[in-house]
Amino acid sequence: MSAVIGHYINGEWGPVAGREVIEVLNPANGALVGAVVAGDASDVDLAVAAARAAFPAWAATSMPERIALVEALAEGLERHRDRLAETLTAEMGAPIGFARTAQVGVAIADLAALIAAARGHVEREAVSNSLVVAEPVGVVGAITPWNFPLHQIMLKLGAALLAGCTVVLKPSEVAPLNAAVVGDILTEIGVPSGVVAIVFGDGAGVGSPLVAHPDVDMVTFTGSRGVGEAVAREASRTIKKVALELGGKSAALILDDAPVEASVNGVLRSCFANTGQTCAALTRVLVPAGMRAEWERAAIAAIAAWTPGDPLDPRTAMGPLASELQKRRVLEHIRHAEEDGARLLAGGLEPLDMPGAYVRPTIFSDVTPGMRIFREEVFGPVLAITEYATLDEAITLANDSHYGLSGGVWSADERRALEVALTLRTGTVGINGAGLDVGAPFGGYKQSGLGREGGSRGFEEFLEFKAIMGAASLA
């Protein structure tokens, strides 16, 4: 490939001469690290036409053939793990150790869980008096974010391919270079022409035409709640199937018997990992009034472990935000919190003595439900502490959100923690710091989205179910 990367359509990298480009900048230092062609509706038309033409043959392949291809994809990610990690660090700032394990490692684990789901899938079964047949939904438009770009690509691409769908992928324009590596891997493993296309560009140029395209049968989108609403509205014009994984403002409930140090470390890890750019991050912590002072002292002491640094240094736990734009957004949230009367315990607006899109990991206390920091997703390393008097009040505070993506409960008694977890209106809940389980369904309640990703539930999102009445005996 040339310094500028063209679209990947029909198994080939497209021309770049004379095209508008999107430059990709390293958020740690502002250096140019690559560029991709800025696509438009004509590029989407070509990619969708290729995917539509390839769909019948791909849908007719056997499950063992699809599994073999996705296994080869996972092996390709492992083979290129270092290249992918270095690319992700350069384009979105993930610390190199985190990029190797959480960014690339989780993507590989995603595929393993999806393959396991596909192996256990029953394509035909008798239900009542009918033969129920699972079939691929068709051509899928996949729009992925910049915070965990490879992870999100694999959740969508792996599940769709295993289901027998063809895919047109629009990666984030902020972090598109890892998707180019994926295109190289697809070529290496011999993905049939047209089965996967990668079209680079922004939302207006590529995202909107892809969502609106009449030959796209399903749209799967991960991103902000506002853009997700726009995707759902546009897709509804052609009654497409839609899967949305949107934002969160997730709460961690610290019960009165929880170990302080363990809960502090678990909450800070959830809130500050990936520089807080995690949709399921626990960014609100609810602490019993009698424990609050001790918990806050422990949090202030523990924040030193999250000092921002060079993402290429293996010792760095927190790198820059993914862009200067995101830095400005996060600082604005911090400014609003101070104006609303939240008490700053650590971090804040003071700039760091280093170039790049860095912010200080920040903790606020005395946060109340009327404050924006209690309700709005920051997507940065900012934690809000709210005290509660009774467990019923804590549960009410946790559920007092338009979002419902994640949550956490800490207690010395796991059975008690489970009882509280069952009251939370959210798609996932971790007990005592339990993190992402790639084999379990991931997704949200309320305005955190529609549908699920990962494992068998994520695989099934890309299927349609046909009932053939009177044919149960033929299953």
pLDDT at position 3 is 86
DSSP state of 14: P
Nearest to 55, CA basis, from 186, 180, 160, 154: 160
Q: Using CA atoms, how far apart are residues 462 and 155, in angstroms rounded to an integer? A: 11
Q: Using CA atoms, how far apart are residues 284 and 324, in angstroms rounded to an integer? A: 25
pLDDT digits (tens, 9 = 90+) for 108-136: 999 999 999 999 999 999 999 999 999 99
Count other C-beta atoms under 10 Å from residue 433's C-beta. Answer: 17
pLDDT at position 344 is 98
Q: Using CA atoms, how far apart are residues 193 and 111, in angstroms rounded to an integer? A: 21
DSSP state of 247: -
pLDDT digits (tens, 9 = 90+) for 131-145: 999 999 999 999 999
Nearby residues of 48 by Cβ (< 8 Å), 6 or more positions away: 139, 141, 168, 197, 210, 213, 215, 216
Q: At 409, give phi and psi (nearest 5°).
A: -135, 130
Active-site annotation holder among 173, 234, 245, 296: 245
Answer whether residue 2 shows pLDDT above 60. Answer: no
Answer whether residue 354 shows pLDDT above 80. Answer: yes
Confidence grade of residue 1 (pLDDT, cut at 50, 70, 90): very low
pTM: 0.96
pLDDT at position 394 is 98
Average pLDDT over residues 72-85: 98
| CB neighbour burial string for 306-329, b if at least 16 within 10 angstroms, e if fewer | bebbbbeeeebbbbbbbbeebbee
The rounded percent of the chain whose pLDDT value lies above 70 is 100
3-state class of 19 per DSSP? coil
pLDDT at position 475 is 84
245 is catalytic: yes
Nearby residues of 295 by Cβ (< 8 Å), 6 or more positions away: 254, 260, 263, 264, 285, 287, 385
pLDDT digits (tens, 9 = 90+) for 210-253: 999 999 999 999 999 999 999 999 999 999 999 999 999 999 99
Q: Which domains does the chain have, with CATH numbers?
A: 4-246+449-469 (3.40.605.10), 250-439 (3.40.309.10)
Distances (CA, A) of 148 to 178, 193, 294, 385, 396: 11, 27, 34, 26, 31
